[in-house]
Amino acid sequence: MQAVKNAATRGRAAGGGAEGGAAPRAAATAAGGIPGGATPPPAAPANDRLATLLQVEGNLRKLPDRRAVELFAVNELRQILPFSQAAFISFGPRQKARISAFSGLAQVDRQAPLVRALERLATSLLHHHPDTDALRGDMRQQGAEITDAALNEWAFPFYQWHLLRDAQGQPFAALLFMRAEPWRDNEQVIGERLAEAVSHAIRALASRPLLSRLRLPRWVVWASALALLLLMLLPVPMTAIAPVEVVADDALPVTAPMNGVVAEILVDPNTPVKKGQPLFRFDDTQLKAEAQVAARREQVALARLITLRKAAFADPQARSRLAEAQTELELARAEREHAEKLLARVNVKAERDGIAVYADRNRWIGRPVQTGEKVMEIADPSRVVFRVDLPVSDAIAISEGGRVRVFLDADPLNAIDARVRWASFHAEEIPGGLLAFRIIAEPLGEDGKPLPPQQVRELLRIGFRGSAQVFGETVPLAFYLFRRPIAATRQFLGW
């Protein structure tokens, strides 16, 4: 299909080739970025034009889809009709014009001033002449409400307008041929013939609805409607799809025992640890210095107390300062003991066996932390649950013991049954800025009992993600299908 392959090439040549004059190109660019038109080819002998017409109509029948027909119409029909630019205009549901193809352009810029002006012109022509299939004239004489600067500066103001109608006689598109010289009567006749060929090609490519091809008896239609109504009353469980993650059940958080800077993480992520094994340590430079200063301060207070005790036998003033010196010694001793306790907490150890769960070692090294801030978790890999974040927009009634089916990304073909352990009453913010209800579900085996630890280790791993189908109460099928439209309508109408 040589004509279709050359449509874009001919369009580019028509849009900015050497055949167009400098004035048309400048005017076209100023009007909205549409490339200038080519000079219409000279009229060919009648026999040649008839042969070309037959060839063009034959090529139209070979086009695969409507888009190809549109591009063919605005580019290849120049072989028969001497136009400079052409636009294929589609009509929307409210008969609003929209340019879907333009000579020499692969894509139409809907924001270009010329495109918007031509769409207003097409809407006006359809509104004022709905029963006229062919028109011609000067677009600069359409009235002030239609003609603006873009059309006044357009280099090809003389147009041919041809409506394309469907099988019911309703206009669904139009062809707009433009050039710099007025159109003649015989050229309008040729344009009508070409528009009819394009309309027929588009209608032939449009598939007819199945119902229009079937002629069913009236009782079949009513029986089908009744069956559909009964089907809408069929009770089905309400379900919702939500993201799910495998998390540890009753994991032990490892928090910072004091304010400080993490100097080193001593275990790798997701590695087994034993009770008492060091997990991470703080930078102890400042703590050691504070402990040494506190020890020296205690020695000074002790020496001062001893001196005052010796002088108290002969000096009444020294005797009166004994209580003050004793208090200073106790304060210095307390500061030393506190500094030593902090120094002893530099190495944070595991309080039970399990695996160390945290994201990234480099994220914590050199980072200052506050007392109570969680650094990692110690989890038992054989005790895991599913954490489901049900978005507020998909919220359904969830009860304890409800059914959940989990499809993990690691094994999307096999579903894992689970049972709701608890669901939150209040929505909370989750990563991504969305509000969701949190649901915790425990995995079940095929017998409906909790999975044994060995199967949990084989099938599930902390951190696995996927999708969960959460089951709620039973509702009619109609409510299940139209729940979202009903909710959107209520929000829009306010009742």
Other C-beta atoms closer than 10 Å to the C-beta of 479 total 14
Q: Is 216 left (phi over 0), alpha (psi -120 to 50) or beta?
A: beta
Lowest mean pLDDT among 78-87, 138-147, 380-389, 457-466: 138-147
Quote the pTM value: 0.48
- What pLDDT score was predicted for residue 14? 36
Q: State the pLDDT at residue 237.
A: 87
pLDDT grade for 43, boundaries at 50, 70 and 90: low
The sign of the dihedral angle between the CA atoms of 324, 327, 333, 336 is: negative
The DSSP line for 190-259 is HHHHHHHHHHHHHHHHSPPPHHHH----HHHHHHHHHHHHHHHT-EEEEEEEEEEEEEETT-EEEE-SSS
Residue 381: phi and psi, rounded to 5, are: -65, -15
Residue with tokens 């060919």: 44
Helix axes 22-32, 113-128, angle to 10 degrees: 80
Residues near 267 by beta carbon (within 8 Å), at least 6 away in sequence: 273, 277, 279, 280, 356
From the CB of residue 88, how many other CB atoms can be counted at a distance below 10 Å? 26
When pLDDT is averaged across residues 98-127 and rounded to a whole number, the result is 89
- Angle (CA) 461-450-470 rounded to 5° is 75
Residue 69 has which token pair? 């027909």
**Mean pLDDT for the stretch of residues 41-69:** 79
Residue 224: C-alpha distances to residues 95, 207, 227, 338, 477 (Å)? 34, 24, 5, 84, 17
Residue 309 burial (10 A CB sphere; 0-12, 13-18, 19+): middle
CA distances from 10 to 6, 77, 106, 161, 415 (A): 6, 11, 11, 22, 56
Residue 30 near residue 149 (C-beta atoms within 8 A): no
Give the helix/strand (H/E) hosting 379.
strand 374-379
Determine the pLDDT at residue 470. Answer: 92
Q: Kindly indicate the confidence band of residue 34, based on its pLDDT and cuts at 50, 70 and 90.
A: low
Q: Which residue type, as a one-letter code, is found at position 473?
A: E
Residues 74-98: what's their mean pLDDT? 89
Q: What per-residue confidence (pLDDT) applies to 22?
A: 36
What confidence category does residue 456 fall into, taking pLDDT thresholds of 50, 70 and 90? confident
CA-CA distances (angstroms) from residue 231 to 42, 202, 248?
A: 67, 38, 43
